Amino acid sequence: MSTCAARRTYGEEDGQAGYNTAAVKCPYTEKERAEAWELCATTVKNHSDEMLKRWEDEINMLLTFAGLFSAALTAFNVQSYLLLQPDSGDATVQALAHISAQLSSFSVNQAFINSSAPVFTFANDSAFSAPLYAIWINALWFPALICALSASSIAVTVKQWLYQYKQGLSGTSRELSRLRQYRYENLLGWRVPEIIAMLPILLQIALSLFLGGLLILLWSLHPLVAVIASVLVGMLGVFHFVTTILPTFRPDCSYQSPQALGIFLVLEPLRRALIRASKTASPYFATSFLAHVDHSLNCVRHKLSTLLPKRGTHRSSWHAREKAAADSHRAQLDRGLVMTAYDVTLIDTVLHTSLGPCMWDMQPGCIRKCYDDVFGKRLQRLPWPNKEDWSPAAPLVLNFSLLAARDEHKVAHPEVLHETVLDMPTPEVQADSEVGGLFLQTMARLVLHRDGALSIRAFDKLVWYVYMTGIKDGAALRPDVIHDAIAAFPRTVKTFRNIIDHENSHLNIPYLSVAECILRYLTHHTAISPEDALAGEKNIQDMVAAVLVFVRFPGWTGKRTRLQYVLWELHDSGIILLMVKLREDAQGHDLVTPKLVGALRRLLTLVEEELLSDSWLGEFWRDKFDVVDGALVRLEALFDKDAAEVMDSVGDSDDSDGVSVHTVQELKPHWQYPTVPSLPNISVAAPDSVIAQLTPSRD
């Protein structure tokens, strides 16, 4: 049994071919999915390697600057801290001056030598008070030195973290990709990028403090020198201030630095806070605020509990511990790996070249999160009629809808995905392309969803897509795609009512035209295996059954507008001529049944009696009717020929071996004696409004 035939199940209620939700087949081969995972792993690896190299180069540069700056600043601090204590050199000068004063005040007598100068005493150190400028200089320079040394110390520590991050990540295998994604998410979760971004900010703060102290020193020494230095420092300050503020207000500004990002992150919540503060306060906001505080406290408590080691989780090494942790979060890490590959590139083609195939290996919960991450807000911004904006996103949206149909009981709100697919523009690509195949499969799944208006819209889009794009002679559709498209066509009258808007007076869906297109593809398709041949024969039988349902639909009776549509379809599709060719073919000879031919004859008789009986309408539709009737006569003649050959073979055989009278009777066409109920001729005038309904529009 072929794969397609094995996947088909028949509903007990109405006989329509249906699907089990687990029977949705992945549209990608195992090799394509492996290549998609390899692409994601390579993308994330390249991004990780470039990120680490950029950080290491930046840290090396900052260490060089911090070393030179600390050396220069230390030389200034060695001299500046002396201003905060009494100068011993001043006391020595005072003592020498006092000695000189004593010597000059000596009076020499015969009995003694006397000095009138007082006794010298050293000044009390407790009475010393450092000058204000000295206090300010040291208050600025020592914190500057501390900031510079802190930046150096943190930079060395970060380099150790990055060295540990790179260990054991040489490769792009699935297991190593999960481990790399695990480390990457932890790197972001523990704010390592923010810590690295803090290093140049610390050095900028140190430089600002040093320049401030330098200006104070110069103003205490000489005004002219201080003015020149102040102008230069002011120019530098204005430059840094402007280049830091501009990126917050201009998204096209290239002056993007860690300090500029910090200003943006500070001002953005402030702007939102001002907007919220402008609203009138109410108890609801108070309750929400208290709930938010309580939730924040719970989060802090949970974070603190995770820092404590759990009993029984000790590992022999960090690598073994994180390997176990990565294995326990495979699904989330796979999703993170795929989303990181898109986030670091922001290229729309990555959506269907990597994310599309990889989603078929994910768990249902992760699939829904991927949809929210990629299209949560994106779909609201895309204009629906614009096919160019939708073309990159179309494959992924179709994959999401197929997966939602497969795991409908596990995916939250699958109707959101289905409505998104039905509202998106129809792709303008061939059915044998990747997007075309996904579109056919998705629409077929929605048709079989049996959800009233949803099925009607999906079948309408499926039929019109095939009608507008067609199926080229050299096209090679995947077996599951053509199988799904055929399964969407009704097999019973009840199903036909559910997916065809037959009550619409302007019905113009190209049902038979698309059926003829699919049948023509099936008859020209070359089977590559016996299973493929059996599946192709079964598909032809199903399409012939779908045509029979259309022909035998009782809703055509008594409604001339419907009969106009039916006659137009029979004429425009050329379905009867295709049946003639199929009957003439040796392999497809038995696929056209007498039941179908009899139903076609009864339908044409109904058209002739109800539609052509009116003189005005009959004149318009007579040419089309004659063409259809001529094709049907050819088909009937083939059945007459086959029946005559069987009768001759029966007459020539003495013992009638292998051929019974019942077999001959079955081969006789059922259309030879049509039993059409007699209907009264109804003469209908032709108002102006009828003219617009004679030819169904297909634009």
In this prediction the pTM is 0.57
SS3 readout for 274-324: HHHHHCCCCHHHHHHHHHHHHHHHHHHHHHHHHHCCCCCCCCCCHHHHHHH
Work out the angle at residue 271's Cα, subtended by the Cα atoms of residues 267 and 275, and round it to the nearest 5 degrees: 170
H/E run at residue 106: strand 106-108
What does the pLDDT read at residue 403?
74
Confidence of residue 652 (pLDDT cuts 50, 70, 90): low
**Closest to 523 measured CA to CA, from 468, 170, 515:** 515
Q: What percent of the chain has pLDDT over 90?
A: 21
* 336 vs 347, more confident: 336
For the cut 90, the answer to whether the pLDDT of residue 303 exceeds it is: no
Residue 557: per-residue pLDDT? 83
Which region holds residue 184: left if phi is over 0, alpha if psi is between -120 and 50, else beta?
A: alpha
Which pLDDT value is given to residue 561? Answer: 82
Give me the residues paired with residue 107 across strands: 114
Least Cα distance to 422 among 453, 450, 448, 378 occurs for 453
Tens digits of per-residue pLDDT, 519-570? 998 888 776 677 777 788 888 999 999 999 999 998 888 778 888 889 999 9
pLDDT at 167 over 80: yes
pLDDT for 127 equals 62
Whole-angstrom distance, CA of residue 667 vs CA of residue 698: 39
Report the C-alpha gap between 333 and 369 in whole angstroms: 12
> Is it the case that residue 286 has pLDDT exceeding 50?
no
**What tens digit of pLDDT does each residue of 386-428 get?**
445 556 667 777 777 777 766 665 554 556 666 667 777 788 8
Q: Residue 187's closest CA among 156, 165, 154, 160? A: 165
Is the pLDDT at 53 greater than 90? The verdict is yes
Kindly state the tokens that stand for 478. Answer: 């995947």
Average pLDDT, the chain: 75
Question: What is the C-alpha separation between 91 and 89, in angstroms, rounded?
Answer: 5
| 426 burial type by CB count under 10 A (0-12 exposed, 13-18 middle, 19+ buried) | middle
Rounded to whole angstroms, the Cα distance separating 105 from 116 reads 6
User: Which of residues 127 and 559 earns the better pLDDT score?
Assistant: 559
**The pair of three-digit structure tokens given for residue 292, joined into one six-digit string:** 């938010």
Q: State the virtual CA torsion across 557, 559, 562, 566 in degrees, nearest 10.
A: 40
DSSP3 helix / strand / coil % (the chain, rounded to 5): 70, 0, 25
What integer is the mean pLDDT of 259-263?
80
Rounded Cα–Cα distance for residues 542 and 418 (Å): 26
**Contacts of 192 by beta carbon, 8 Å cutoff, 6+ apart:** 158, 161
Q: Which of 259-268, 339-348, 408-417, 666-675 has the lowest mean pLDDT?
A: 666-675
What would the mean pLDDT of 500-506 be, rounded to a whole number?
72
668-678 mean pLDDT: 35
Is 205 a residue whose pLDDT tops 70? Answer: yes
Tens of pLDDT, residue by residue over 140-157, are 999 999 999 999 999 999
Beta-bridged to residue 18, according to DSSP, are 9
- Does residue 435 contact residue 393 with C-beta atoms inside 8 Å? no
**Range of lowest pLDDT (161-175, 577-591, 618-632, 653-667):** 653-667
- Name the 3-class secondary structure at 510: coil
Q: Token pair for residue 18?
A: 């249906």
The CA distance from 259 to 243, in Å, is 10
**Pairing state between β 17-18 and 9-10:** antiparallel
How confident is the model over 55-66, as a mean pLDDT?
93
Report whether pLDDT(212) > 90.
yes
Lowest mean pLDDT among 397-411, 459-473, 641-655: 641-655
Query: 173-187, 323-337, 632-646: lowest mean pLDDT where?
Result: 323-337
